[in-house]
Structure 1
């Protein structure tokens, strides 16, 4: 798997790329070297089954490496962005309105070059048959080398390269007189994420105004405004308040003990989410309010603060601030694009037209149980922004006696986990299943040596809490020292001594009895969960199976392994919104983009045997969805044996008529030998991502005996698992 470096590592040095983060160590950065004639980029290659990563070199003169299963750029959201017709038409109209004569246009974060070509066409300099105009030119700046290679192909096919100068650098590396002949008269850009600022918008604009643009330049977009709304939502509350939800479980396990409520928490930041998917679970407690305004036509400030007085429109408890932004693309204020949720009624809210995944709403969690308010009451919201993020502090205008924070000091140790992981750890049903499975396993061993192979702090605490005679060896491959420090902090509250718990500080590829104090492992446990792998495909958590294989030399003959096996499950789905966002491209506002389809992992109109890759999504956030079949088993992974190649097939009959766009795939983990405890990660479970295999062409399906002529009533699914790569290959035949 090849993973582009995320902008999250250093937003001020953003790659200007719409990248879905798969996995990346926070200490690693993009390394680029240049010679007189070529550029080389070091790209991180990650092996999901081993957790190993290595740098590979991408040379400007070499083809971008791809695997048969996953093209390098398939995990980005470029494709989804280019399929956003509202965005594309808004930019075209604004550029045509702004670029009315030959001038110098700078496009920052050029991507496939769509905005550059729009600008060149608007001033007539992109027409290869037109008379060459030396006054009109476009500088397309794109820092990500694999995208630059694609950009050049798109330019060539459209005959638009004559007056478009492509520069493979970050915009803050450009120098007037060296890279560009003069300052630009017009800036066009699309360096926006769901929060607005996360791709480095502010530092990019600052440098551009200081070094690359004329005084008072024309810009597209012209302005961006952020808005917010106070909401009550149990669904959102569960994603961050582990202390309250854990207290309801009453099972004796204390991941967040009293007085240490925030020792295990989510990061204080905005989280991108499709809030439309939980509209029925959200209670609006205020009218929408304006927060910040960012003008692209002038140099922005690095930091800003505002104080808002917001009147409650209903009684309730504020669990979150839901935010979005509205883009004004032209100076006159006639062309807009909005990321507002569908419940916002506004003539400029274009979000009701197309579902898209590259821009969502954002959610800021209010600490603890939230803040109670009464209708008509006024509350104070302090909002602030840095160069790359926006944050909030919600306080009542009149102080209340209710405590929403605990006694943990900000400088004390805290373990930061994703919201979905916090929700899982607070889920009573999930905790009961894990607790029961571990208790049953421990009852079969007197003084067991237990190894927790993954990053499950719950499993480690659970074993140590339930058994005073067990010795626990936790590998914590992702958490490492942070996991060890966390255990030391909560040990007393959970009634165990660290004398019986050991965290292995060093990763190994070969295990001996010296590592386990000359004792064989009696119990091997995982959830499985690997810190930092939250955006990966479900079967990439079969890393647990790989770990089990590596540990084989030190496992006892009658070792108990939990989970005992994984079952790959699937369901035929109607996913029109997701399919349309990933469909192959043809003409975009008059420019041919068919050349990008294979590289970006598109579905539809691909040359056989090319198929789109399987990609991870939260199915419940994928717009319109409908199950068209019963859930069926594809294949099983037996953890009692070393990892091996697996095959499976299933004949699936459709239970509902409709249009089949693909299959949702996930793993159910069988925790015990009796197959009585099964933890599912399917679409009805919101806290796990499923794998989605989209069809090249949607198929009309019907039910057996009632299908009309031309409708398929069943499909044969065949799958294989490759233990060397961790890939699952899915084939399907409709009948």
Structure 2
């Protein structure tokens, strides 16, 4: 079973207790308890990717002998701590700033200490001694990371130099946990948006309770910037209504009058915008927005109004934002997350590709705001404790007004990820779904159709194609929100309410509810909440289909008909560099973290790097080195009967350096395989799985010619797809 991570408690300011959000790729809850022995105990939720069911496992603090009750190996392998520690530019900037700021023995507080890198830098800057005048207090709330940090401190001989406390920063008390207020704050509690890890509440509490007056701080200041852009690609990720208006399939997920019912969240979305630089038209110069001084107590909320002059004609589809860190008080050491088109013209210089910090995209409502060169638009920016928000106006009126329907939906607003919204607005994808559904319904004029995943498009397509069909939707992830949404849009699309039902009884009760059997069982497949996972986690469709086999008629149609695991050998130098095993990081040995953090490269015998989800198109420089190949197939026309496996030997046909294998799922929608929906690297709205090799290998003359790939799935054990490779 996969171990997915979330905060240990459900508190508003996640940085106090949770592992940093930029370090995590997918989440389920964890909880914390204390035992009578005063050891902290973490209950981590372990999820079966095939069934969606979960169970709590226990992670205890090490006993005196150092033996953990439950190993934490694997818990941190899917995080992005590793690519942060591989960011040499970041590490060097912190080291230089710490050495410049800490010039004499003092009390240093490190909030969110991670592996202890900044704490060790601070201790070394004081000469490596710890006494009443010079000490480092390291605060780290996440127990698996605390256990790893202890090993790193021991390996580097720093155990006596640093006081490691396994608590949230807002749980520390002067006189109880620490002897006195700290003179210097060092921290790295930043996400791509800057504030998402709770930077503001963390600083507020630190200044109120843990720091001296006028403390020193590394970093010293953070400044956010933004820029107005036009991009059809970005527009497609939120403006479904305009895309649907150009389609002729007769189905509307966003009917007129119900625009507020469906969309994406009003938030910033992290994205490597360098990858779409050629698809972006700049409509303004960069604009400075907010400034946060770490050595001062920040306000919880802030607002800014600025008039921005257009430098080109166009439509503002999105606002791209980034931040710049000033790490020292004199302003000589900087780190920036700006796009390359900004950094290439700055004194900071172009950074290496890294995955822990990206740029952010804020989508403007509707089709965008039209502007002419020289025209000024009004941007209102605001921030809360954890978010930065934008509102762009051309006049005093709102840029996008919603019409209202007579249908009462209350406070319902169904939100999906931008990639899913873009898919639903993609004419090719919708045509494929339409044709596949029409083929499945052929000859079934009064079919009972069961949609078992979280598709919103399929129920409406089935109702539209067959006037006599009845559609039942399960929507296991969206649940009641999907029920209210489908009721509203079915009515607006002109479908009779008695033809659509959201089944609330659960899969186990379907047999007694529908004794006349189901004629069609369909899915895209798509499960809400699995968007950040590996693409084959949607094989949950097969598991659900197996459980529902008793309700299917003898000639029932299952769509998709098959799932096919596909792959391609790839050149991925930037991704490799960000995930490779660590050695010395600014003079501190980090080699022992490689297995735990999922590194690739010089791993111990028997250890292998995990397969991780990425948008390949956002992974820096990439190139295919082989033809696309099939590893194994999954036949959905039949229930799962036991373990299955597949293997293939692939020929590398293009010279270069192979860093890994990209893997994805193709969904064969019909028995004839005439309609195929691919989620491969050329399709930018899905993530792919990436299996990095033990070491990069040369391809071509006198180099590697073949790679063997094996995959196996045992649904009776843990539901994980096991993938291994051999070099030939």
Q: TM-score, normalised by structure 2?
A: 0.95
Moved more, 412-421 or 15-24: 15-24
Q: What is the SS of the residue equivalent to 1:326?
A: strand
Q: Which residue of 2 aligns with 1:189?
A: 187
Deviation at 1:505, TM superposition (A): 1.5
Deviation at 1:682, TM superposition (A): 0.5
Q: Which residue of 2 aligns with 1:496?
A: 495
Q: What is the SS of the residue equivalent to 1:579?
A: helix
Distance 2:283 2:85 in 1: 35
Of residues 147, 150, 155, the one that matches 2:148 is 150
Q: Deviations over 1:120-177 (max 9, x none)?
A: 0000135xxxxx6331110000000000000000000000111200000000000000
Deviation at 1:411, TM superposition (A): 6.2
Q: Which residue of 1 aligns with 2:725?
A: 732
Distance 2:321 2:381 in 1: 12
Residues 136 and 163 in structure 1, CA contact (< 8 A), matched pair in contact too: no
Q: Which residue of 2 aligns with 1:63?
A: 68
Distance 2:665 2:103 in 1: 55
Deviation at 1:404, TM superposition (A): 5.4
Distance 2:456 2:10 in 1: 26
Deviation at 1:394, TM superposition (A): 0.2
Of residues 94, 97, 102, the one that matches 2:100 is 97
Q: Deviations over 1:254-277 (max 9, x none)?
A: 100011123210000000000000
Distance 2:412 2:556 in 1: 35
Of residues 110, 119, 124, the one that matches 2:113 is 110
Q: Does 1:396 align with 2:394?
A: yes
Moved more, 358-367 or 253-262: 253-262
Q: Does 1:358 align with 2:356?
A: yes
Distance 2:343 2:266 in 1: 29
Q: Does 1:238 align with 2:253?
A: no
Q: Which residue of 2 aligns with 1:426?
A: 425
Of residues 505, 521, 531, the one that matches 2:518 is 521
Q: What is the SS of the residue equivalent to 1:169?
A: coil
Q: Which residue of 1 aligns with 2:557?
A: 560
Q: What is the SS of the residue equivalent to 1:344?
A: helix
Q: Which residue of 2 aligns with 1:470?
A: 469
Distance 1:235 1:675, change over 3 A: same
Q: Does 1:716 align with 2:718?
A: no
Distance 1:303 1:398, change over 3 A: closer
Q: What is the SS of the residue equivalent to 2:671?
A: coil
Of residues 282, 307, 328, the one that matches 2:305 is 307
Q: Which residue of 1 aligns with 2:584?
A: 587
Q: What is the SS of the residue equivalent to 1:665?
A: strand
Distance 1:8 1:695, change over 3 A: farther
Distance 1:512 1:254, change over 3 A: closer
Q: Does 1:623 align with 2:624?
A: no
What residue ranges of structure 2 are gaps of 5+ in the alignment?
none
Deviation at 1:20, TM superposition (A): 5.5
- After TM superposition, the structure 1 = structure 2 runs for residues 685-700 of structure 1, keeping only pairs within 5 Å, are 685-700=683-698
Distance 2:9 2:661 in 1: 31
Distance 1:8 1:468, change over 3 A: farther
Distance 2:104 2:510 in 1: 73
Residues 318 and 371 in structure 1, CA contact (< 8 A), matched pair in contact too: yes
Q: Which residue of 1 aligns with 2:479?
A: 480
Q: Deviations over 1:600-624 (max 9, x none)?
A: 0100000121100000000000001
Distance 1:346 1:223, change over 3 A: farther
Q: What is the SS of the residue equivalent to 2:91?
A: helix
Distance 1:347 1:63, change over 3 A: farther
Distance 1:626 1:30 in 2: 42
Distance 1:65 1:235 in 2: 45
- After TM superposition, the structure 1 = structure 2 runs for residues 283-298 of structure 1, keeping only pairs within 5 Å, are 283-298=281-296
Distance 1:699 1:346 in 2: 31
**Aligned-pair RMSD on alpha carbons?**
1.9
Distance 2:344 2:382 in 1: 26
Q: What is the SS of the residue equivalent to 2:554?
A: strand
Q: What is the SS of the residue equivalent to 2:51?
A: coil
Q: Deviations over 1:170-197 (max 9, x none)?
A: 0000000011111000000000000000
Q: Deviations over 1:204-263 (max 9, x none)?
A: 000000000000000000000000000000010000001011111221111000111232
Distance 1:347 1:136 in 2: 41
Moved more, 493-502 or 164-173: 493-502
Distance 1:610 1:64 in 2: 21
Q: What is the SS of the residue equivalent to 1:249?
A: coil
Q: Does 1:81 align with 2:84?
A: yes
Q: What is the SS of the residue equivalent to 2:533?
A: coil
Q: What is the SS of the residue equivalent to 1:502?
A: strand
- After TM superposition, the structure 1 = structure 2 runs for residues 250-269 of structure 1, keeping only pairs within 5 Å, are 250-269=248-267
Deviation at 1:10, TM superposition (A): 4.1
Distance 1:689 1:350, change over 3 A: farther
Residues 64 and 72 in structure 1, CA contact (< 8 A), matched pair in contact too: no
Distance 1:459 1:383, change over 3 A: same
Q: What is the SS of the residue equivalent to 1:155?
A: helix
Q: Does 1:167 align with 2:172?
A: no
What residue ranges of structure 1 are gaps of 5+ in the alignment?
127-131
Q: Which residue of 2 aligns with 1:129?
A: none
Residues 5 and 30 in structure 1, CA contact (< 8 A), matched pair in contact too: no
Task: Count matched residues.
Answer: 717
Of residues 121, 125, 144, the one that matches 2:124 is 121
Deviation at 1:405, TM superposition (A): 4.1
Deviation at 1:511, TM superposition (A): 5.0
Moved more, 241-250 or 404-413: 404-413
Distance 2:249 2:332 in 1: 58
Q: What is the SS of the residue equivalent to 1:228?
A: strand
Deviation at 1:58, TM superposition (A): 1.2
Deviation at 1:687, TM superposition (A): 0.5
Q: Deviations over 1:479-538 (max 9, x none)?
A: 110000001111122221221222122434x4553121x111110000100011111101
Q: Which residue of 1 aligns with 2:280?
A: 282
Distance 2:251 2:439 in 1: 16
Moved more, 136-145 or 31-40: 31-40
Distance 1:536 1:188, change over 3 A: same
Deviation at 1:36, TM superposition (A): 4.5
